[in-house]
Structure 1
Amino acid sequence: MKTAKHLIWTIFALVVVFSTMLSACASPTAAPTEASEPEDAAEQPVIEDKELNVLCTPQEEWCAGMKAEFEKEFGISVSYVRMSSGEALARIQAEKDNPSFDIWWGGPADSFIAAKEAGVLEAYDSPNMANLIDPAKAKDPDNYWAGVYMGSLGFATNTNWLAANPGVEAPTSWDDLLKPEFTGQILVAHPSTSGTSYTALATILQIKGEEAGWEFIKQYAGQVAQYTKSGAAPAKFVGLGEGAVAIVFSHDTVNEIENNQAPLKLTFPAEGTGYEIGGMAILKGAKNMSAAKAWFDWALTPETQSLGPKYKAYQAPTVKGAVASRPELMEAKLIEYDFQWAGSHKAEFVDKFSNEIAAADKLKE
């Protein structure tokens, strides 16, 4: 297993301004450097459509915020439905002959790779692809999807629970999840509905290898108190005292601490953790193609990618010139996460997990 140390300087390269470093969840980092300016985009095409239907995977506040910002800038009426990435992928595949949505925004790239292989995406070579800091990682080589944010996996532990259990420390490795003190105390989403959870599953398999990884996953599943539908939900419920440890993206932990004053401590596995590149793609057969392309172009601008914190989203951006509100979240030891491998095996691995380890029933909303 190799680590992705080059991603650290990549994240710092995309910071333009950092007035103050927020301190919750991580220690302050060195002052960021100024990113190179994004290249000038080509002249924007005429937008003929008056409406746009968006399938949105990030949290509700961010989806609603993006809708409002796009409507304000373009005068196009936006309708959206919020779904976890697993649900979104299933919906898109079910509707491939008559899609309800024009564009899918957000969710781990693994799902977009699976969608490309299923033939449900429309290729689009946006002029704003030139803004991407690392196009080799942050977009599909055939232009079927592009990355719009990044986020690292971590553990969120309830500090009240830690105080009530002297001598117990928050987990700092994947193996810590098997400790007896965490039996029945772990919350995580189900990989059939959540891209967050699938990223965790694929991370473990990449770190430990498939044979040892599946054996570990079977053991750690015995520690889980509850599976949720949404990837961010475990941080919320652990913050409310319904468990001790959540396996979530680190920005979701920050959201709970910053906006809900949740008693949570963020830690990362020392041996390495996975990360997501949140994707975006136009759907094949989109009924509002010009509006979908306008959204795609708009989402790859530094101004749009700097909007996240306004809507309680703390993911790192993917384009030059955008402001990273919490770059320290990408300072965890990151593995060389293989997105193509994870995306190609998604259906196989989710079926194996659901059939052999934990069925996708009675998921906590």
Structure 2
Amino acid sequence: MAVDEGVRTVTPGRAAQELELGRDEFRLAVQLGLVRTVPAGERERRRIDRVERTEIDRLRAAPDFPSGLRERVRAVGTGEAAALLGITADRFARLARTGHLSPVRFSLNRYRMVVWMYLAQEVVEFGLACPALLTGRLPQELRERLAAHVDLRPRNWRARRLGLLLRATEDPWARAAAIASLLDPVQLAEVVEDPYERTHLDRLRPPPPPGMPVSPVAREIAERLTLADDPDEILWHRLSLALALDEARAERQAPHPGETPGTGFGADVPVMPPRRSAPPDVPMGGVRVPDPAGEVRVPAGLVRVLAAPVAVRAEPGPVPTAPVAVSAGAVAVTVRGRLLDRFRRGKPRGAARPRRPKRPAGWP
């Protein structure tokens, strides 16, 4: 619901002016949750936020205003951060690359080199917590990481940004969209197979981080930093997205044009009956196969498993990426073939049954 834009709320620019913050400082304060905003509409798929007057009054009433607020949002580069710790810029960069400090934002200079920024308060806290890393030779583990050209700054920045995005909303679909924004389109399509759900996630995709460059080449570099690139990181976000989607679907389904709720991805796939008749249910090793002449409903995940090639001698084929309609007869044939194939592999035809060893004398 849009908030009254009268006396109760002010624009972000006006709020930054009253809080004596620069534009970048105010954006960072909002991202860190130091300044709370309220939604006041949407424009071109971008949410428009405003600041309530009571929030400004609360921050201005702090005993350390404005110096305390400005210090909490103070961002420094590598050189200034190294000066705060009393070490060289090269040593600070090595500590940041090995994951000891997480950047809070980045920018690209005129040479299209990434410039990472850190919270000054976190830099000082790190120096107090880990004084041994500021002098002497770095531990062997860190030297091995540096020799392997490990750089955890992009990953740590993405993790920090994701945490801020997840804390900013309680909507399960918006939280899933925040996680999905870290995966490239190929990875996203493998996790979210329903195109309507992908469209819904794209509609809820969070806006790009502030300060994105305008030139196409620089913007491509910046956008590449927003996507997960490490295999472990990609796997983690894929699993997180799958769990987030389960929670979102449990609350409500993504809008599917022309469909009723409960018929989307994750629900049972209606299976069309074949045109020919077939015998009734037949027990096979304790498994009851449905009547192929009737209509049954098979879970979408089971359809994909059954559709995948299982026998070594079978012709390889692509696994369906969307729910498919199959007949109950096809399911029965596939189940029967799998059971027989498993039986033949476990006990080849004509194989002699192993003899039971004789017990030694005196055994019970």
TM-score, structure 1 normalization: 0.20
* Greater share of strand: 1
* Greater share of helix: 2
The structure with more radius of gyration? 2
Instruction: State the structure with bigger RCO (CA 8 A, min sep 6), 1 or 2.
Output: 1
